[in-house]
Structure 1
Amino acid sequence: MKGAQLTLGVRLRDDARFGNYLGDRNGESAARLQALTQDRTLPLIVLCGDSGTGKSHLLQAVCHAGEARGESALCLDMRELLEVGAGVLEGLSATRTLCLDNLEAVFGDPDWEEAVFHLFNRMGDEGHQLVVSLTEPPSAHPPALSDLASRLGHGVILQLALPRDEDRLRILGDRAAERGLELPDDVSRFILRRASRHTGELLSILERLDEGSLREQRRLTIPFVKQTLGWNTAAATGTTDTDST
């Protein structure tokens, strides 16, 4: 079962590390998380924040840091495990650092909540560390199992805020530079006006532009972005097309 369990872990993105987690609003929380996972005196850390705050990035960064220390580390997205069954958590307490992303996905399911509670206990008994992510603080959206709610409430809670537009522009620019792309300021601002503000979606757009630029051997310009992303018509976005440069 152990081998089957390990295949369920999230494949860590190489760029999901503490060193390139950007955004001044959450810099203090990210630094504290890094320090807490190095210190390891606290068995449970709870990351809270809306989608787009970088929770998944930070959980994977925790795993990368653990692996760099030569420790076992595993990140699981609880949304992807619902159909597998709560028994998949058995044996995972042997993992030195275990990260559970989107933990609220199993709230309301008695079998899952009990399995998570027992996993928390086993991790604590073995001196291992658990880091979980939630959209809201445990007090605002608690699980039905009171023991699990209490355990979450006693963890170290780190709150993440949505990035500002300045942070998003910096993220786009730095990620483009990592790919060897030149992303002019007017192009990045155009993307931000037209696209979702969700960081993950912005990075997916950048990946598409990188592939298109490489394939067509073209620089990133506003016309090229419009063509590649299908933003040639104002009707596609419901906005007035004033960016015809």
Structure 2
Amino acid sequence: MVDNTLDGSQLTLGVRLHDDATFANFLGQKNALAAEKLKALSEDANLPVVVVCGDSGTGKSHLLQAVCHHAERSGLSALCLNLQELLPLGPDVLQGMESFERVCLDDIEAVAGDVHWEEALFHLFNRMLDNGHQLILSAVEPPARLAIGLRDLASRLQHGIVLQLALPRDEDRLLILGTRAERRGLVLPEDVSRFILRRASRHTGELLAILERLDESSLREQRRLTIPFVKSVMGW
């Protein structure tokens, strides 16, 4: 849970963990082992840095938030932020984050190549290490392929634990849609799910946003989810 100001122990940036972004709710057989491994790694404070890699839609953001949920349930302080969203605040925003026992920073490529951000991230890593705390990052590419100009930072990341995620299969996406619909109390027939997959982006986050939009429209209009209804709501 976080705020807007940083005083060495608290950061308030209006960022909140999604209740359903947990390890238990992470679906997709292709990355199930990686998720279990990340859960175990996040329990080991002797591992100062872990990098989760994968294309957009593989579930990196979900897993970073899951780390924070898991940490908090274990009595640890945790923070999860997106570096792309932090850019307007400048690299000084990283000051004081080392007070959290687990810090998860999403989208490291957003600051790659920026000397000031790289230095700030390097110093944060060192402060986390001194405190015996753990830094978990996400990136599209493995650390060796990131355009990190600061050699010391590149070296730290490359010597950390790297977990590679694969893009989910269509069957995984159908499972995710069906499970999320069920949790909402929404009846989503399989033919409707497959229609959505054929017409929509394969990005998991965008699929779930479509499901939310359909849920709201279904409630408002008191209509069941059918292919004609989905077409009318989505303009397909």
Q: Determine if the TM-score, normalized by the shorter chain, exceeds 0.5.
A: yes
Match in the other structure for 1:200: 205
Matched residue of 1:182: which SS?
coil
Matched, 1:163 2:168: yes
Matched to 2:170, the amino acid is: D
Matched to 1:74, the amino acid is: L
Q: Distance in 2 between matches of 1:84 and 1:224?
A: 43
Match in the other structure for 1:191: 196
> How is 1:1-245 mapped onto 2 (pairs within 5 angstroms)?
1-2=5-6, 6-8=11-13, 10-231=15-236
Q: Distance in 1 between matches of 2:182 and 2:47?
A: 37
Q: Deviations over 1:117-168 (max 9, x none)?
A: 0100110110001100010001112400000000000110000000000100
Q: Distance in 2 between matches of 1:81 and 1:74?
A: 13
Q: Deviations over 1:4-60 (max 9, x none)?
A: 961126321111000010100000000000011123321111000000000000000
TM-score (norm 2): 0.95
User: 1:10 touches 1:77 (CA, 8 Å); kept in 2?
Assistant: no
Extract unaligned runs of 5+ from structure 1: 232-245
Shift of 1:71: 1.5
Shift of 1:2: 1.9
Q: Distance in 2 between matches of 1:192 and 1:40?
A: 40
Q: Distance in 2 between matches of 1:75 and 1:214?
A: 32
User: 1:172 touches 1:206 (CA, 8 Å); kept in 2?
Assistant: yes
Distance 1:88 1:51, change over 3 A: same
Aligned-CA RMSD value: 1.2
Matched to 1:55, the amino acid is: K
Shift of 1:3: 5.1
Matched to 2:48, the amino acid is: P
TM-score (norm 1): 0.92
User: 2:113 touches 2:147 (CA, 8 Å); kept in 1?
Assistant: no
Matched residue of 2:145: which SS?
coil
Matched residue of 1:25: which SS?
helix
- Percent identity between the aligned chains? 67
Q: Distance in 2 between matches of 1:85 and 1:142?
A: 19
Q: Distance in 1 between matches of 2:7 and 2:120?
A: 19
Shift of 1:104: 1.1
Moved over 3 A (4+): none
Extract unaligned runs of 5+ from structure 2: none
Matched residue of 1:41: which SS?
coil
Aligned pairs, how many? 231
Matched residue of 1:67: which SS?
helix
User: 1:48 touches 1:159 (CA, 8 Å); kept in 2?
Assistant: yes
User: 2:104 touches 2:136 (CA, 8 Å); kept in 1?
Assistant: yes
User: 2:187 touches 2:225 (CA, 8 Å); kept in 1?
Assistant: yes
Matched residue of 2:88: which SS?
coil
